[in-house]
Structure 1
């Protein structure tokens, strides 16, 4: 009996050791990410797939609130901004009888934006900034924004995901993770402005256009779409968007910016020779950190409930589009046609309705 008891204790101890070790390992997830080029499928490389897996994991971590959360996503001059206030209910409609809302994905933050939760488990942690408005205390929370999320995915895909690595970090003393401004300066302008390094490049052939003169992605897309930039039979769709692969990113940059990670590409042609891309039928699938729908104090009660019930700050999601051309659509799909990427047709947004922003694909220098 004593021997059996000892063996049981040894087995239990061994199991606990395994569980303890597992908690500190990067969670296992393996998706399949493909390019469908006119019916011919190519699976993404392991490093690219690892980046897509990381983005998926960050967008799918589940969590619940202990109480209604009031927080701000932005700061200015080191202080939280009133315009970025977000209110999230613990219970649906704020009523305990309706049940606790289960949320997905690391929350959006441009204040404390360098927290990827590599254990695969999200824990709500607050930063040290607060804002008091109408007697309510708004706080900052640890999370990611669009650019830091993509950077974390790329760092994972290249094996540069240790805290000490300066991969995709600015070159100044604080070594902050890249913003969309850094991504644009690095990939497009090849500039060291804003302490930018040399990690990124644009995707595809830019024809006659000198990209280093661009001030924003609108400049780039409009120039590449102009008559005469390419030779006969070529255009921005065949020479740029049709070259996208899973693990690349789609970047918008103007006065502000946004970036998405591509997880799938589907290219459709209008001719049997497969030289003319159909920009309305061709599309990409993406994962992106976009932010929660904002709580609007001047909105009606229905809108307040919708915003406060919002279950994720990521796309794709199961939330209903509230504004614009796609209002009433029962989810944000994360799918964008090539025409949407050039701004010819609108894309839905979480806050603000239709968007005609121009996006260009960028990728890591170390990836072909």
Structure 2
């Protein structure tokens, strides 16, 4: 069913992120048909100086203006939330070979942008896109962790000690499995000591916070057209991260197929953390992972008949509500009764029935 023309809808786009703060979803950027493929000009800044806001209880969208300069990495950036601020890292600029490693914050109360760390080829994570970023809280301090991604092979930051890189020579791109941490209090990027089974260089995976100090990576595109269905967990301290890998054991065990560019979200089922995974490149299925047990369950998609039955039951329920509302309206409508003593009695049907009908009491009541 199409929405009325008067209802506002954001323009189509891809390569963006949508994050939740309270009862609202915030969507910014992404590659759009009318966005100029340039590094920076007035038109690009103008189109990127708005945020699309969805009010979840009503499902209504509204476009709101922002203040100060927005990030230039509009596609494939990473986003994460700390209280009333959304943080945006990196992204593809929109013109050939331009990637960023800048970090911005966006305040949802003031709608103001703030550059925390500028794009530079001298230090920090790679200038890249399609990486993952999660929020950490360690010893009551806020951190951001950035993992993986890809960017230009040339003119990039120095390699991170211990990290691996894979060169896609056909497209002059570099995949990485870098792990960086950013401490908000000091504004510094650090390289934690990585132990355990580190994931290979990858892009287009999902990275999801599980607790204040742990996160989970699933899927992604690795190299030579290889896709992943492995699960990696990360346990952080302020100076280190321990990685662990979980793979499909085979046999009769349920396990999702390889994918990238999917969506994942953390949900709690009966107080047990689960990861919900939806679709992805080359697949349209839906899976639920019990994180404590590392057990997958494929969720059944409703058939056309089941969808029709659900719609029918919903309409039937709404019709019953409408009928009951009409009955209640009639029962509570004022009426006037004239008694033998010529007195006028004003009441509702409900009151009149209670007054006029004989009350049954005792065995002799009929």
TM range (shorter): under 0.3
Higher relative contact order at CA 8 Å, sep ≥6: structure 1 or structure 2? 1
Over alpha carbons, which structure has the higher Rg?
A: 2
TM-score, normalised with respect to structure 1 = 0.26
Which of the pair is proportionally richer in strand? 2
Which of the pair is proportionally richer in helix? 1
TM-score, normalised with respect to structure 2 = 0.26
